[in-house]
Amino acid sequence: MLRRSVILLFSLLTLSLYAQIERVEPTFWWVGMKNPQLQLLIHGSGICNRQVIIQYPGVQVLKTNRACSPNYLFVTLNIDPKTAKAGLFDIRLREPEKADLSFSYELKNRRSKSAQREGFTSADVMYLLMPDRFANGNPQNDNIDSLPDKVNRTLDDGRHGGDIKGIQDHLDYIKGLGATAIWCTPMLENNYEKASYHGYAISDYYKTDPRFGNNGDYVNLVEASHQKGLKVIMDMVANHCGTGAWWMSDLPFEDWIHQWPAYTQTNVKFSTLKDTHAADVDKKKFIDGWFDKTMPDMNQQNSYFWTYYIQNSIWWVEYANLDGIRMDTYPYNDRDAMATWAKAITDEYPHFNIVGETGLYNTPDNAFWQKDAFNSLQYNSQLPTVMDFTLQTSLSKCFNEHGKPWEEVGMNRIYNTVANDYWYANINNILVFVENHDTQRFNNLIKGDLDKFKLAMSYLMTTRGIPQIYYGSEIGMTGNKDKNDGDVRRDFPGGWPGDSINAFSAAGRTPVQNEYFNYLSKLLNWRKGKEVIHTGLLTHYVPENDVYVYFRYNDQEKIMVVINNNETEQTLNTDRYAESLKDKTTGTDVLTGKNYNLSSAITIPKETALILELK
């Protein structure tokens, strides 16, 4: 009886001691990383004066730092690349006249050739989806007791129940469409009372939101995607967290986030970052102001936070076996900190790719953020890929307008945008798109005109860069951002039990939806094997009569693209393109199979794009 009492007392004491260690991040790490140093964030009641003791071959405590809060320790370890082995070891926290605290930490082996993984490239087509609005594969995780925002599909800004299983159940649909990479908006925990569905107010950077699934489910999604030849890009957010973030009730440092005497929102003045005449107060308000009342602005000049965030990004790449990162609200961040972040990741993974949401609407401003771009500030972002918002703006307008040859309308918009490509350091590494989750739905802008949709998609899939499409565009989905953001983030039909239309199958789609899908699917699947489109050179000609002609070519192949943006058919005199045609006399349209004799004038039907393989 006495022995049982002692064991029970010891068990209770042990539980009490472990309860004081509430969190350790990163939750585990790997041997053989290029950077041998690892910073541990340890959070627990009153642990700030503890000495850290580790006795494990190849692991050395370099320094221990207190925070302002007594409940944190930041511990920097050196993990020797030659002597440290994968395994579990104890980390003890010691303080005189107090019982030791102890927890186990694990070092893992990396996947074979993990450092040499190839990221997404211009050979890919990226499919952007919002997990909450794509498909509900597991209704049992729709509501979580500990998280206040519950499912309500009647609300545009409510949670609708889409999840990881819903995505995994429809990987064949995405593959069949012809996309080769998936970008999901953030799926980390968002602990907030409303509008948490979008995922951009993260409350736990190491935890998948349980309404989507768990970390293991996310890893399984990536693995299942890889088995089907699909890459996965993780959407990350460095600029801000959510007010529900676990540290908000106990900040490690007062300057862990940017704090103001009263709520201060960013002034959204991107120009202050490069304006040599800008006032410091304006620069500070842009960078340090909060994105929204629900999204505290992180202080990336706090070295402990920034090391924490860099490690978190690498942790997800390694743990989930990612193929890329999309970084949210890129220019709102501290630009020097972001350069450090991007370089740390690409140093660890030299062939990896990262795209930043640059959100700027002229080419020089956009190109400024690409790695190795020329600028008089001598700034190098180290960011491989930027989003071509300049082209997106042109595409959102050009198919609804016509004008004089000298006017900035119609096909002249595209021509003039592409004419500024000399600003970019790497023209293949720009993300091109007509819409995303923050813009108007393209099909809303063109009022559901299938011909205009075909023009836009034909251009998008044959121009320079990495194309991105937005879920549902391939079936003509619409939505009006002027109503609210949720309206351009509607549920994919067929993703929920009881949906009247199941657009995931040809039999379930309407005839019009199938027209959209079949056209885009044929185009995407043709593009997969076309290196000339992925990396070929581009020559374009000044539009005449709102007809835009350009060529993609390499040493092996040449493609001629003709876009007639008119409401009437046009006759094209091919003599003008002799320098590009040279000895090519015929062209076969990849979408219709029709042959064209290019030694004489050809007729282009109204609002039609020709993609001609030349012979």
Query: Is the per-residue pLDDT at 8 higher than 70?
Result: no
Residue written as token pair 């860099």: 310
Which of the residue ranges 80-89, 288-297, 398-407 would you say has the lowest mean pLDDT? Answer: 398-407
DSSP one-letter code for 262: S
Q: How many CB atoms lie within 10 A of CB 173?
A: 19
Tokens of 30: 């790997």
Residue-wise pLDDT tens digits, 181-202 = 999 999 999 999 999 999 999 9
Rounded average pLDDT over 55-70: 98
Tokens of 192: 């907030």
Query: Is the per-residue pLDDT at 429 higher than 70?
Result: yes
Residue type present at position 498: G
Query: Is the per-residue pLDDT at 3 higher than 80?
Result: no
Give kind and range of the element (H or E) at residue 394.
helix 389-398
Q: pLDDT band for position 422 (50/70/90)?
A: very high
- Helices and strands (DSSP H and E) totals, the chain: 16, 26
Rounded-to-integer distance, Cα 243 and Cα 235, Å: 19
Q: For the whole model, what pTM was predicted? A: 0.95
DSSP bridge partners of 105: 89
Among residues 614, 561, 568, the alpha carbon closest in space to that of 454 is found at 561
- Omega of the bond prior to 26 within 30 degrees of 0, cis? yes
Give the 3-state secondary structure of residue 38.
strand
Tokens of 293: 């009342």
Query: Is the per-residue pLDDT at 389 higher than 70?
Result: yes
Rounded average pLDDT over 24-48: 98
Residues 6+ positions from 116 with CB-CB distance below 8 Å: 349, 350, 351
Query: Is the per-residue pLDDT at 490 higher than 90?
Result: yes
CB 439 within 8 A of CB 128: no
Active site residue 357: yes
CATH class of segment(s) 15-109: mainly beta
Phi, psi of 289 (to 5 degrees): -65, 150
Residue-wise pLDDT tens digits, 397-406 = 999 998 777 7
Rounded average pLDDT over 475-487: 97
CB 465 within 8 A of CB 430: yes
Q: pLDDT band for position 252 (50/70/90)?
A: very high
DSSP bridge partners of 102: 92
Same CATH topology for 15-109 and 537-614: the answer is yes
Range list of β-strands (E), 416-565: 430-432, 466-470, 537-544, 547-553, 558-564
Active site residue 407: no
Residue from 163, 189, 209, 357 carrying the catalytic annotation: 357
CB 159 within 8 A of CB 152: yes
Query: In CATH, what is the architecture of 537-614?
Result: Sandwich (2.60)
Q: Write the DSSP assignment of 545-581 as a string of letters.
A: TTEEEEEEE-SS-EEEEEEE-SSS-EEE-GGGGHHHH
Q: Rounded to 5 degrees, what angle do the CA atoms 12, 18, 19 make?
A: 85
CB 558 within 8 A of CB 584: yes
Q: pLDDT band for position 13 (50/70/90)?
A: very low
Residue from 124, 209, 235, 328 carrying the catalytic annotation: 328
Check residue 556 and give its pLDDT: 97
Which of the residue ranges 11-15, 466-470, 518-522 would you say has the lowest mean pLDDT? Answer: 11-15
Q: How many CB atoms lie within 10 A of CB 115?
A: 16
Packing angle, helices 450-460 and 389-398, rounded to 10: 150
CB burial of residue 354 (10 Å; 0-12, 13-18, 19+): buried
Among residues 183, 194, 136, 191, the alpha carbon closest in space to that of 160 is found at 136
Phi, psi of 77 (to 5 degrees): -110, 155
Task: Please determine, looking at this structure, whether the domain spanning 124-236+435-528 carries the CATH number 2.130.10.10.
Answer: no
Rounded average pLDDT over 412-434: 97
Rounded-to-integer distance, Cα 170 and Cα 136, Å: 11
Number of residues in the chain: 615
Locate the domains of the chain by residue range: 15-109, 124-236+435-528, 537-614
Check residue 5 and give its pLDDT: 41
Phi, psi of 43 (to 5 degrees): -120, 125
CB 471 within 8 A of CB 481: no
Among residues 281, 169, 292, 166, the alpha carbon closest in space to that of 237 is found at 292
Give the 3-state secondary structure of residue 16.
helix
Q: What mean pLDDT is reported for the chain?
A: 95
Check residue 407 and give its pLDDT: 84
Rounded-to-integer distance, Cα 497 and Cα 191, Å: 26
Packing angle, helices 303-320 and 215-227, rounded to 10: 50
Which of the residue ranges 57-71, 113-127, 399-413, 550-564 would you say has the lowest mean pLDDT? Answer: 399-413
Rounded-to-integer distance, Cα 352 and Cα 337, Å: 19
Q: pLDDT band for position 350 (50/70/90)?
A: very high
End-to-end CA distance of the chain: 93
CB 464 within 8 A of CB 430: yes
Residue type present at position 211: R
